[in-house]
Structure 1
């Protein structure tokens, strides 16, 4: 029995959003060990946006954008990528990649609470139960003595939480904002704006800039993986799945990415995984499942 081309594409696409997006935490951790965080993130997104615009031109996709759309993509790019991603890269100097991925998996919880506070939307019983489990999981995750005793861990965890609020607010913002109708072009402009902002921050902080030829081999490969796989291939797979399968199935990446990040961090970087972290992960992801299973998804791709 032969497997259809569509089935193969779906399998490969799920592999992309599960494994590739899950591995971006590891790749960022490796790169930030040798490169300044905001310079790293700026190079990644500026290069990715350039490649997106080239592909769009070759594919004869219109790059036209109105002034209002440009303003909105700039706001989204700042919230999603400049603050939401760039500052997470900075936090990875202090926090393990798997730990960061687990904390970020609670983003649906933050979105739900913001919708309640900003728009007055009621929280259903199932979602409320998910919120309770989410808080228990986060408490178990961040309350470990061996983690709290390490230098910079509390600052890193607090910073990542601030980034989650930024992502959550951005998710609500783009749901109503006037943005380019083509998701590929929309992401290209968001990456361009986010990369420019990150470059300015890097200059203000007086980070040292360098040519890729001077980077260590593992950093070069990590950056290549972030640009080609994390920003382009996985994003394309994400959009393909949104048009092919149900949004609920696509959203399962929320549960798989942290597990992939934990395994890769342990395997490649020898990051320690405690029993309490495993229990916290199970409780937290169960809570996220209860929240997501009771919502109608309107997923937005913004690059990881």
Structure 2
């Protein structure tokens, strides 16, 4: 029995590490798609809609299998799914894809990682919760760390306007995702995490596809094979597989440990940004990363 539990624990940790690896590589693949040599520039709306549409079959299948023998959805359930779908994997992803045109993959990942602290602030301002001293310290650490990473990008980019615009867009992504998380708790309790995630992803995909259809011609999808290769890699290795692995990890080791292991993500993104994209590294960036990760650790632990 001890061996069985120990083996399950190791599998859970391994799955959490692989999920962090997959999610961290998303920004790298998006940047590669934006700068693919010999290809016409691909826009963020096109890239997002392709990512969602190619992921759709997996989530339709997941939605069907998880809805068997489940109670029917009420009108209020559908309303909440639409709102959360627009906030979550459509709205947050759109801001993220837009921001990655202007900032480094490392800064993008660090700003996105402020969502635990933003979720706390949403609870304070809109749900009547009180800040603890530990949470105040975590907030200060996280945002000073973001400031250091911002200065790093500004120093090596030399274009203040681009870095500011990109940072604000990615921060908008983090805010939107935090709102999604704040509203998803009751729905997950009612529908279950698998069914809820599948239905929210379907709503998000429809929103992304509609946005693409009304904002650009179909010729926007006339892209070289290299771009579609990056999109397929984003779908398989940075969307579908990490989501399944993270879910399986949470079932084995719990959400707290899974989230803490996920703090590997920004470190991996910065490393791959330096190794693959040639993004510079600096002491300020390293210090900022450490502060953000420690801040997330402080608000994630019991």
* TM-score range for the pair, normalised by the shorter chain length: 0.7 to 0.9
C-alpha deviation, 1:16, in angstroms:
2.2
The counterpart of 2:241, out of the listed 233, 256, 279, is 233
Distance of aligned partners of 1:199 and 1:56 in 2 relative to their CA distance in 1, 3 Å threshold: closer
Query: 1:300: which partner in 2?
Result: none
C-alpha deviation, 1:250, in angstroms:
0.5
C-alpha deviation, 1:25, in angstroms:
1.3
Query: 2:301: which partner in 1?
Result: 293
The counterpart of 2:79, out of the listed 71, 74, 98, is 71
Q: Equivalent residue of 2:272, what SS? A: helix
Query: 1:244: which partner in 2?
Result: 252
C-alpha deviation, 1:187, in angstroms:
1.8
Instruction: Structure 1: give runs of 5+ residues left out of the alignment.
Output: 295-304
User: CA–CA distance in 2 between the matches of 1:206 and 1:59?
Assistant: 35
User: CA–CA distance in 1 between the matches of 2:156 and 2:215?
Assistant: 28
Distance of aligned partners of 1:68 and 1:229 in 2 relative to their CA distance in 1, 3 Å threshold: farther
Is 1:200 paired with 2:202? no
Q: Equivalent residue of 2:23, what SS? A: helix
Distance of aligned partners of 1:58 and 1:118 in 2 relative to their CA distance in 1, 3 Å threshold: closer
Query: 1:298: which partner in 2?
Result: none
Q: Deviations 1:102-148 (Å, cap 9, x if unpaired)? A: 11111111111111111121111111111111121122222344157
User: CA–CA distance in 1 between the matches of 2:188 and 2:143?
Assistant: 34
Is 1:215 paired with 2:217? no
Query: 1:124: which partner in 2?
Result: 132
User: CA–CA distance in 2 between the matches of 1:178 and 1:241?
Assistant: 17
Distance of aligned partners of 1:273 and 1:107 in 2 relative to their CA distance in 1, 3 Å threshold: same
C-alpha deviation, 1:205, in angstroms:
3.1
Query: 1:23: which partner in 2?
Result: 25
User: CA–CA distance in 2 between the matches of 1:25 and 1:88?
Assistant: 9
Query: 2:38: which partner in 1?
Result: none
The counterpart of 1:266, out of the listed 251, 269, 274, is 274
User: CA–CA distance in 1 between the matches of 2:255 and 2:171?
Assistant: 25
Distance of aligned partners of 1:207 and 1:250 in 2 relative to their CA distance in 1, 3 Å threshold: farther
RMSD: 2.6
1:152-163 superposed matches below 5 A: 152-163=162-173
**2:17·2:261 contact (CA, 8 Å) conserved in 1?**
no
C-alpha deviation, 1:201, in angstroms:
2.3
1:1-20 superposed matches below 5 A: 6=8, 9-20=11-22
Q: Deviations 1:154-213 (Å, cap 9, x if unpaired)? A: 10101111121111111111123477624333222212211222223223432664457x
Task: Provide the TM-score with structure 2 as the length reference.
Answer: 0.86
**2:21·2:268 contact (CA, 8 Å) conserved in 1?**
yes
User: CA–CA distance in 2 between the matches of 1:287 and 1:7?
Assistant: 26
| Count of aligned positions | 291
1:4-153 superposed matches below 5 A: 6=8, 9-33=11-35, 34-54=41-61, 57=64, 61=68, 65-144=73-152, 145-146=154-155, 149-150=158-159, 151-153=161-163
C-alpha deviation, 1:221, in angstroms:
2.6
Instruction: Structure 2: give runs of 5+ residues left out of the alignment.
Output: 36-40
**2:62·2:195 contact (CA, 8 Å) conserved in 1?**
no
